[in-house]
């Protein structure tokens, strides 16, 4: 176990803060979506999070994420004065200013007075409190902030604070998922909201990474709310009763060395019929993606009870239509091994060319039915060589243990 001293240099807290900032941006965007789809946002430009319309900033957001609720929102706190200083420099255009923080403000503090339900007298009282702190000049580290604040006229300070809203006690990074789930409640049923959020979050992190990379390189970039809305609706469509989300279509293909070292039962089935190594590699790719997808559907409870078993039975029926012999096997023993393999290869190709059923009507994967057949082959429920049962008796116990 690491000691407290060993954690002094850990960047975990600041990293959590950056991650929370990215997730706050998504959460706020989802909340704004019903009101103004013309909004677009950026991260780490004019502010931590900026919303604008046609080049004009409308909202500036500062996020202050503290681990274990450490930090302060007292009238002299760094979070207050650094944030105010930033807005004095950047928010002169009348844009609304929001401070979202995990910390709870003390009763009677300026931050508490600037909460969402404040009135004109609260803003005036907050200005008086902050004026007193700035004039005391007790904190030398904040001297520049205090001087810049007092450099504004009384009316300018009042006008600035009138545009400030402090959202105290915000959820931390560890519990943001619940808020995100709540924000998509209109998009799908309760059972499917978490799977929707997880997929939306995955897309959002990729989009945010691309956005930040462009910003860091000096290229202007914005994320339109319509982008988020389109992605949300697309994922919600995949979670309908006649559809399922597909998450592994772009998985990396297995390398040749990985396939050469693969000793699973379904691979041996393909090796027995001397299938070309590139077709075996494609089969491994289909199997791996189908296995991951089926497992995720089950884990997220997106499948009805017994649905996967019913689907596997449908695939076994398709296999039977191709692989069951056409005639009684009189004189079968006279067929050479080479002829058996050639026949198996032709039937395997015929099965691959069939339009195999997907698990639901609107699922369009290609790899799920083919990969599922290899899952069944791994369990020795189907086979390719005419003598597959006899040839693989030595792996029967292993196959029966495959999930």
Of 288, 276, 265, 280, nearest to 389 (Cα)? 265
Residue 4: pLDDT over 80: no
Report how far residue 113's alpha carbon sits from residue 106's, in angstroms, rounded to the nearest whole number: 10
Q: How confident is the model at residue 2 (pLDDT cuts 50, 70, 90)?
A: very low
Report how far residue 59's alpha carbon sits from residue 32's, in angstroms, rounded to the nearest whole number: 11
pLDDT in tens, 291-349: 999 999 999 999 999 999 999 999 999 999 999 887 666 656 678 899 999 999 999 99
pLDDT in tens, 37-91: 789 999 999 899 999 998 889 999 999 988 765 668 999 999 999 999 999 998 7
Report how far residue 257's alpha carbon sits from residue 271's, in angstroms, rounded to the nearest whole number: 15
Poorest-confidence range of 10-19, 122-131, 342-351?
10-19
- Amino acid 15: pLDDT: 85
- Gyration radius of the chain's alpha carbons: 31
Percent of the chain having pLDDT more than 90? 80
C-alpha distances in angstroms, 298 versus 12, 287, 306?
A: 33, 16, 11
Q: Which residue has the tokens 């992190």?
A: 205
Residue 224: pLDDT over 80: yes
Residue 104: pLDDT over 60: yes
CB 383 within 8 A of CB 392: yes
Residue 10: pLDDT over 60: no
Ranges in the chain annotated CATH 3.40.1350: 5-183
| DSSP labels, 165-205 | EEE-S---GGGHHHHHHHHTTTTS-HHHHHHHHHHHHHHHH
- Amino acid 12: pLDDT: 80
Question: What average pLDDT does the segment 171-196 reach?
Answer: 92
- Amino acid 1: pLDDT: 43
pLDDT in tens, 336-389: 899 999 999 999 999 999 999 999 999 999 999 999 999 999 999 999 999 999
Instruction: Enter the DSSP assignment of 401.
Output: T
Higher pLDDT, 397 or 286: 286
End-to-end Cα distance, the chain: 36
Question: What average pLDDT does the segment 268-275 reach?
Answer: 96
Helices 307-323 and 367-378: angle between axes, nearest 10 degrees: 80
pLDDT, averaged across the chain: 91
- Amino acid 34: pLDDT: 80
Q: For residue 402, what are the contacts with CB-CB under 8 A and spacing of at least 6? A: 265, 375, 378, 379
Report how far residue 194's alpha carbon sits from residue 184's, in angstroms, rounded to the nearest whole number: 9
- Amino acid 68: pLDDT: 60
* HSE-CB for 334 with a 13 A CA cutoff: 3
- Amino acid 248: pLDDT: 96
Q: Does domain 5-183 have CATH number 3.40.630?
A: no
Report how far residue 102's alpha carbon sits from residue 73's, in angstroms, rounded to the nearest whole number: 10
Q: For residue 377, what are the contacts with CB-CB under 8 A and spacing of at least 6? A: 265, 266, 269, 383, 384
CB 122 within 8 A of CB 87: no
- Amino acid 7: pLDDT: 53
Poorest-confidence range of 74-83, 138-147, 205-214?
138-147
- Amino acid 213: pLDDT: 97
Poorest-confidence range of 107-111, 170-174, 196-200, 237-241?
170-174
C-alpha distances in angstroms, 99 versus 21, 67, 86, 126, 247?
A: 12, 17, 11, 15, 36
């Amino acid at each position: 176990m690491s000691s407290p001293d060993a954690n002094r240099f850990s960047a975990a807290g600041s990293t959590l803060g950056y991650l929370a900032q990215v997730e706050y941006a998504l959460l706020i965007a989802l909340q704004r979506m019903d009101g103004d789809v013309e909004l677009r946002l950026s991260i780490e430009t004019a502010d931590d999070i900026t919303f604008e319309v046609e080049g004009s900033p409308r909202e500036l957001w500062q996020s202050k994420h503290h681990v274990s609720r450490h930090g302060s929102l007292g009238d002299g706190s760094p979070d207050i004065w650094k944030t105010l200083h930033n807005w004095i420099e950047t928010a002169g255009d009348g844009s609304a200013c929001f401070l979202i923080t995990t910390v709870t403000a003390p009763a009677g503090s300026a931050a508490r007075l600037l909460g969402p339900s404040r009135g004109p007298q609260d803003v005036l009282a907050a200005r008086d409190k902050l004026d007193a702190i700035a004039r005391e000049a007790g904190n030398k580290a904040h001297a520049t902030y205090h001087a810049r604040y007092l450099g504004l006229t009384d009316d300018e300070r009042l006008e600035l604070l009138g545009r400030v809203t402090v959202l105290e006690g915000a959820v931390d990074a560890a519990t943001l998922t619940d808020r995100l789930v709540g924000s998509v409640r209109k998009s799908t049923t309760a059972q499917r909201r978490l799977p929707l959020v997880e997929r939306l979050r995955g897309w959002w992190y990729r989009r945010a990474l691309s956005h930040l990379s462009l910003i860091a390189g000096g290229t202007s970039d914005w994320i339109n709310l319509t982008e988020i809305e389109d992605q949300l609706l697309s994922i919600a469509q995949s979670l309908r009763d006649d559809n399922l989300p597909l998450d592994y279509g772009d998985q990396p293909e297995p390398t040749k060395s990985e396939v050469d070292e693969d000793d699973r039962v379904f691979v041996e089935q393909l090796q027995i019929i001397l299938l070309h190594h590139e077709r075996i590699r494609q089969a491994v790719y289909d199997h791996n993606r189908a296995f991951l997808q089926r497992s995720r559907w089950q884990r997220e409870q997106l499948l009805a009870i017994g649905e996967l078993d019913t689907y596997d039975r449908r695939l076994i029926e398709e296999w039977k239509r191709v692989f069951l012999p056409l005639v009684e096997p009189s004189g079968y023993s006279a067929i050479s091994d080479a002829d058996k393999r050639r026949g198996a290869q032709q039937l395997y190709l015929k099965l691959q060319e069939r339009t195999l059923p997907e698990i639901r009507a609107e699922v369009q994967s290609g790899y799920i039915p083919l990969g599922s057949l290899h899952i069944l082959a791994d369990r020795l429920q189907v086979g390719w060589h005419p003598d597959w049962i006899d040839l693989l008796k030595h792996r029967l116990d292993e196959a029966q243990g495959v999930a």
